[in-house]
Structure 1
Amino acid sequence: MFSSPDPAPLEAAHAVSVADALALPELAAGSPEVVAGADGLQRQLRWAHVVAGTSAIPLLEGGELVLTTGAGWPTDPEGLRRLARELVAAEPAAVILELHTAYAEPPAPLVRACEAAGIPLVALRREVRFVQVTQRIHQRMLALQTEALAARAEVHTMLTELGLNRSPVDYVVERLSETLDAPVVLEDSAERVVAWSGRGHDPESVLAPWSRATDPDGGAGRGAADDGAGDGTTRTEAHGSRAASAAARSAEAVLPTGSERVPVEAQGERWGRLSALPGPPHPAGRRTVLELGAFALALGKLADDREWLQLSSKRLFDVLLSGRYRRDAELATQLAAAGLPLEGRVLLGATLRGIGDFGAHDSLEHAILETALRRAVAPEGRAIIVTDPGAGARDGSRAAPPGEPETRAPLLALLSFPQDDPRVAPAQAAATPPLAARLARELDMLLPSTTPKAWRAHLALGAAGTGLRSLIASMERVRAAGRLRAVAGAGRVTVQQAERQALAYLVRGIAADPEVQEFAAETLGPLIAHDAASGPGHSGDLLRVLGAYLEHPANRSLAAQRARLSRSVFYQRLALIEDLLGVDLSDGTTIATLSVALLARG
């Protein structure tokens, strides 16, 4: 299934080095002495050659272990200097000179030349059989090559099976990490971490290079508009964004020494890079394994262009919402590595959902909402967005505000803005938040002309703050609040805002408490029972009427309009509510009590 990259040479740890050759019994018997270039003992051998005289030196191709007795070499100083220059210029891995045949000691010009070039010069004080030496070295090299090919085939088979099984990206990265016994990180073209794995390694140490590379003020460097063609933009627009991103980046993740990094690309398009942090050698070569993995990931990207973006977002929200992190710094590093900087930024959680009939498939609505929000946040802002994974279980029993249609699962968003960004300015009474106005403009450009006029996008904004704890609290509260009646709007966007609906956000945040649920059930019990009954006098809409009234307690005519009832029928319903509950709906304490109960019930 996979067309493998070109074979790579053996890595240093899996090739025969000069030091390995000197440790062979056949060479050790010659009492080898390193007289020059001792720092080059880890140089790799490409082959081993016995060289007699000087005529064979021009035929060397580099990397050979040269075995010689010096027979046929010149003895005059100028001739030796010329020989030394020619031999070093051929770049052998090392030179082994057996003494007593032509020389009692290594020639001084050769010693100086090898030392200057860092090429080990080894003197043998005793005679050895060069044929046995070359045979042993070649056997060992061939054995390592065979082992490398077998290991490469094993990795190739593993990745083929993963491809046939349509294994997700994070699982492929996990298997690569297990194969290399080292942390492996997949990043996209904007250097945001898509997936990583490293058993026994904490996120802070693995993702630190990508966290440090976050550039909040670098324009398109890690902008929300860089997410590519999976979010509703065209492939041309996405490619242009990636090109601009690459040009605008001022910082890249600098990996520790010993790391490997390869591009993930296909059909002339680069989507990101795959990196392996330092670890033990692999028989097939760490880089070869990484290249095979990168090719498999590229094929997966061709098959599903959105998977990378979705995977990264889902993983981070799973960590945040489930509390699967040990320290705040651990989660902050993961968020920063994924392109959401926290340091010196204004942070908040938000939800976005469509209301009413969209007139097309839900997937198109989802893509347009996500794209519009990303564009509204860009370029200075950053966003991580995902469909709420618990929307069905949590919102299924929570009714929409009175008189309004139900909605699909909302998008959850973590937002990060510069400190002075006007889009997160303090809320003002009766004013439309600037972010909502920007979102409305983006939607106008993206929505199909066939979208029904009644369709709306509902934006819920959590409280803005600084620091990770503030971001988590904002996300949890706006998510718990669900959809509330809007306090502002712009174009097709309606808005609810924590700063202007503090009571609603507070009550919804504690609504799961058994005592709060018991309070809501006892307070509203008679109305719930009446709505559930049938027959004369049982309209089934008292809770909806109460909700409309509590939204506008000082304007019953407007409340009747919200409930979509005539004023006379609306007033009859209010009288029935007062009678069933034994309360006066004009009393402030009663209004507050019923408001809390209705919010808690959802």
Structure 2
Amino acid sequence: MDLTLRDVLELPVMAAGAPVVRSAADAVDVLVRSVHVSELSDVAGTLTSGVLVLSIGLALTEPGFDAVAYVRSLRDAGAIGLVVEPGQHLRRLPDALVQAARAARFPLVELRSTVRFIEVTEIVHARIVNAHYERLRLAERAHEAFSTVGAAVRAPDAVVAHAAKLMGLPVVLEDRTHRALAFAGSAETLLRDWTARSRRVPFSAGTEVGGPEGWMCTPVGPPRERWGRLCVPVRSAEQPAAWMVLERAAEALTVGKLLERSPLSVEIEAQSDLLREVLHGADEGSVRARARALGLASAQYYAVLVCRPAHAGQERVFLDAMVTSDGIGGVLAAGRVAAVLPCSSAAAEKALLERVVAGVPTGLAAAFGAAGPVRRLGELPAALQEAVHVADVVSPGLPALRRAGDLGVRGLLWWLRDHPRLHEFTETQLRPLLTLPEPRSSRMFATLRTFVDSGYSMTAFAKALNLSRPAAYSRLATIERLLGVDLSDPDTRLSLHLAVLAHRSAPGTPPQ
């Protein structure tokens, strides 16, 4: 830990001298890099930068002593403060010295009791050496944490978490529009009113402490293409160790971004992480803070839209088409793309979603599922789960907007897909086909499924299999014989239809 003048004054050996700060009491948090005992009235060339000068005041008793010149000499030589112990040579500090120090805002400390300066210098220098050693260890840990740029490519939140752990301070990564992309700390507290608070801290070319809350920030990205910054959004001392960690983390994120091969940006990855957590029931307070910090505008209602792409690798195209400037969107499991969009009313929600769906290029979407609108962000988990459910259940080739009420029996079977009675029914109806050796089992089941999907029309069935009608009848006869049923019976058809749909909805069965 870096040592400040305040820390030195609070050391037991120094506190025993009852120190009194006579000037610049608000400047005692300056860093101390060394301690030096000097009785010279002109210290030019004898000190190093950041030194704290200790004295018994001999120079103050010299004939013609010039207090202003003395203070100027100390400051110009690199001193950050002067501690004087009056004694047999000097009964009290000269008023001229106190006034000169106050005018220059130079820390001046008067001791009221005797202090062993040699002991002070030994303790302070030992603390400084230990601090240097700790900083070296910290630099080594930071190098190990951030040297693998692959981690920065895949997960900026991991880089941020490492930085926060090393510094013992909360850290937030934001972009140029003040959207919080990754953070380490309590979202509800850390990201409260994030955009408004962040805008009070101007972007800078290097690491700086600024703003009304005293944030420490460092830019992220190449010098001419800064795309964000790392922030420590709490008031903290300008510690070189913290600066070093923050800058190393920024370097890792910069290099990772340059090597990035993913078509998804850091912003989209951050929004995807949030939506995946929402899908699994994240805390409402955390969701609200993070969604606001990621750019979701406040609104009366929120619409939820999920798309199941027809082909992999098109996520960015869907996001560009689905996400409005005041909404958020991301990629969920199995390549589903989701968006949460603000809207002014329940009536406006339908028109908004239809407009978004119409903007998706033709042929890319297998299905769309919608839910809501919801009034509170706390209702998003249930709405998102419902929209995912709809998108997974809707038959492929029907990319129009669908809701839970449009699913019919498919929706019912999806919700019951884990029920043991449904499994028992499905196995009873289809066991003779499912227990055939492969690939015959798959071929027979596909034939039955085609018959069901064709609406029991022999013409449509034969056309779907590219067979003549006699050959199609022969295929059905084989299935009837294997199952021991009459496919002309309405109840039999209904049972098999439900069994086929339930088999499609079974856990682990990919959407079709």
TM-score of the pair, normalised by structure 1: 0.63
Aligned-residue RMSD, C-alpha: 5.0
Aligned to 1:205: 189
Gaps of 5+ in 1: 1-12, 216-245, 248-253, 356-361, 392-409, 444-454, 489-493
Distance 2:51 2:91 in 1: 24
Match of 1:458 among 358, 362, 366: 366
The answer (yes or no) to whether the contact 1:351–1:461 under 8 Å persists in 2 is yes
CA-CA distance at 1:373 after TM superposition: 1.8
Aligned residues of 1:48 and 1:64 also touching (Cα < 8 A): yes
How far is 1:439 from its partner? 1.1
1:516 aligns with 2:425: no
Q: 1:157 Cα shift?
A: 3.8
Pairing of 1:354-503 with structure 2 (within 5 A): 354=310, 366=313, 369-386=314-331, 388=333, 391=334, 410-419=335-344, 424-425=349-350, 433-440=354-361, 456-466=364-374, 467-468=376-377, 470-481=379-390, 482=392, 484-485=394-395, 494-498=399-403, 501-503=406-408
Q: Which stretch has the larger CA shift, 121-130 or 270-279?
A: 121-130
Q: How does 1:14-93 map to 2 (within 5 A)?
A: 14-18=2-6, 20-21=8-9, 23=11, 25=13, 32-48=19-35, 55-56=42-43, 64-66=51-53, 67=55, 68-69=57-58, 70-72=60-62, 74=64, 86=72, 93=80
Using the alignment, how far apart are the partners of 1:574 and 1:285 within structure 2?
77
CA distance in 2, matches of 1:422, 1:376: 22
C-alpha distance after superposition, 1:268-299 (max 9, x if no partner): 32232223455998996112111112212222
1:532 and 1:311 map into 2 onto residues whose CA distance is 41
Partners of 1:14 and 1:144 within 8 A in 2: no
Q: How does 1:172-183 map to 2 (within 5 A)?
A: 172-183=159-170
Residue 549 of structure 1: CA displacement?
Answer: 0.8
- 2:250 counterpart SS class: helix
1:223 paired residue number: none
Q: Following superposition of structure 1 onto structure 2, how do residues 187-266 of structure 1 map, counting pairs within 5 Å?
A: 187-198=174-185, 202-210=186-194, 257=213, 259-266=215-222
- Change in Cα spacing, 1:343 to 1:519, as seen in structure 2 (3 Å) is farther
Judge conservation of contact 1:203–1:334 (CA < 8 Å) in 2. yes
Equivalents in 2 of 1:381, 1:458: separation in Å? 26
Contact 1:531 1:541 in 2 (8 A): no
In the alignment, structure 2 segments of 5+ residues that lack a partner are 204-209, 505-512
8 Å Cα contact 1:548/1:559 also seen in 2:
yes
Aligned match of 1:319: 277
Q: CA deviation at 1:20?
A: 0.6
Given the alignment of the two structures, is residue 580 of structure 1 paired with residue 485 of structure 2, yes or no? yes
> Is contact 1:177-1:197 (8 Å) kept?
yes
For the residues of structure 1 that align with 2:7 and 2:378, how far apart are their CA atoms?
A: 55
Instruction: Label 1:595 to 1:255 Cα distance change in 2 as closer, same or farther (>3 A).
Output: farther
Query: How far 1:544 moved relative to its partner?
Result: 1.5
Amino acid at match of 1:123: E
Contact between 2:44 and 2:73, CA under 8 Å: does it hold in 1?
A: yes
Residue in 2 that maps onto 1:352:
308
| SS across alignment from 1:549 | coil
SS in 1 for 2:32: coil
Which residue identity does 2:395 align to in structure 1? R
State yes or no: 1:295 paired with 2:251. Answer: yes
Instruction: Name the amino acid aligned to 2:315.
Output: E
* Mapped partners of 1:593, 1:496: distance in 2: 29
AA of the residue aligned to 1:498: R
Checking the alignment, whether the CA contact within 8 Å between 1:16 and 1:45 is kept in structure 2 is yes
Report the alpha carbon displacement of residue 348 of structure 1 after superposing the two structures with TM: 1.1
CA 1:519–1:148: 2 relative to 1, 3 Å: same
Q: What are the Cα deviations for residues 447-482 of structure 1, in whole angstroms up to 9, with x where unaligned?
A: xxxxxxxx6532322223213454333432343342
Secondary structure in 2 aligned to 1:178? helix
The verdict on how the C-alpha distance between 1:571 and 1:332 changes in structure 2, with shifts beyond 3 A counting, is: farther
Question: What is the match of residue 406 of structure 1?
Answer: none
**CA offsets 1:403-438 (integer angstroms, 9 cap, x no match):** xxxxxxx423133233369984269xxxx9322221
Amino acid at match of 1:373: F
CA contact (8 A) 2:369 2:388 kept: no
CA distance in 2, matches of 1:469, 1:570: 53
User: Could you tell me which amino acid in structure 2 is paired with residue 545 of structure 1?
Assistant: F
* Alpha carbons of structure 1 residues 281 and 519: separation in structure 2 relative to 1, 3 Å: farther
Instruction: Decide which of 475, 484, 502 is 1:600's aligned counterpart.
Output: 502
Tell me, what secondary structure is at the counterpart of 1:461? strand
Higher RCO (Cα < 8 Å, 6 or more apart): 1
Q: Secondary structure at the match of 1:261?
A: strand
Residues 1:304 and 2:268 aligned together: no
Give the paired residue count.
Answer: 481
CA–CA separation in structure 2 for the residues paired with 1:18 and 1:212? 33
Q: Secondary structure at the match of 1:262?
A: strand
2:62 maps to amino acid:
G
In 1, the alpha carbon distance for the partners of 2:197 and 2:473 equals 62
Percent identity of paired positions between Structure 1 and Structure 2: 22
Q: In structure 2, what is the equivalent of residue 146 of structure 1?
A: 132
